[in-house]
Amino acid sequence: MLLECGMQEEGLFRIAPSASKLKKLKASLDCGVLDVQEYSADPHAIAGALKSYLRELPEPLMTFDLYSDWIQASNIQDQEKRLQALYAACEKLPPANNNNFKYLIKFLSKLTEYQDVNKMTPGNIAIVLGPNLLWTHNDGNITEMMTTVSLQIVGIIEPIIQHADWFFPGEIEFNVTGNYGSPVHTNHNANYSSMPSPDMDQMDRKQNDQSRRPLSVATDNMMLEFYKKDGIRKIQSMGVRVMDTSWVSRRGSSSSRKSSSTPPNVHPPTPPADAIIPEQPGDFYISPSPTPPPTSSDRAR
């Protein structure tokens, strides 16, 4: 639905929807019935529901097991080797996680094609969605989220969105659930074991809410403003190595992007077959990760 009504909506995934409308939409999705006309006029509610489901997962989409892999990859200074390490981490995702991550990244990449209108660059999307895709077992409060780890996650998600076709080559069918409003029931709550039971008493429910990740649109906006206000130098002074993507040429205007399906002329450089990934600070080993598929420029050779 967002492909039809939300791609040019300014601040998609950043601007908060109405709390009551978001609650109603999630209830409709849980029942497998959706009034398309009602929600097509409010893409922020749809985007908000997606963010809500992602952050309510008992385990992040990018998994707890691979948390160290993602962070280690983000700490690699060489850009080509960093891309290779991120690719290797993607390959390690369980099949279901990989499929959903691919679907999401390809959609977000398409969203950035309209960034001149919606103001959602790969970096902005990474800031507001990244903490919903990867977090540690022991997540802290809002203040702690504005630290090295959260900003490292931005450095992980941003290049994956920028080079979505390199990480996940080929086209993808977005409308995999068929027509909207299908009566087929999908029990989303079955996948969210961390969600509070309606039988909980007030005290148990409060404790459960406090134990869950305190992410919110307000938090997203705080991170965005922090990132914009202090800039790369401030972030790097905190020990964060944010990926420098200035070497990637920007595409043309949004109007030209929408009218052309031609891939960008500049592709990320082909990483080596073996990426050097730090196992521990100061220690290195050669990863047997597979070589990513060649880019179109490589095929032309």
Helix (H, G, I), strand (E, B) or coil at 219: helix
Between helices 67-74 and 79-92, what is the axis angle to 10°?
170
Taken as a whole, the chain contains a residue count of 301
> CB under 8 Å, gap of 24 or more: what pairs does 4-9 form?
4/40, 5/40, 5/41, 5/43, 6/43, 6/44, 6/46, 6/47, 7/110, 7/111, 7/113, 7/114, 7/118, 8/114, 8/117, 8/118, 9/43, 9/44, 9/118
3-state secondary structure of 133: helix
The answer to whether 135 touches 58, Cβ cutoff 8 Å, is no
Domains of the chain: 62-174+200-243 (1.10.555.10)
pTM: 0.62
CA dist 101 → 32, 149, 218 (Å): 22, 20, 24
For tokens 């009218």, what's the residue? 259
Structure tokens at 34: 């959706």
Tens-level pLDDT at each residue, the chain (301 residues): 676 676 888 899 998 888 888 888 888 777 776 666 666 667 888 888 889 999 999 999 999 999 999 999 999 999 999 999 999 999 999 999 999 999 999 999 999 999 999 999 999 999 999 999 998 877 555 455 556 667 889 999 999 999 999 999 998 887 755 444 433 333 334 343 333 333 444 454 444 444 444 344 444 544 555 455 554 444 444 444 444 433 333 333 333 333 333 344 445 545 544 433 433 333 333 334 445 544 444 545 5
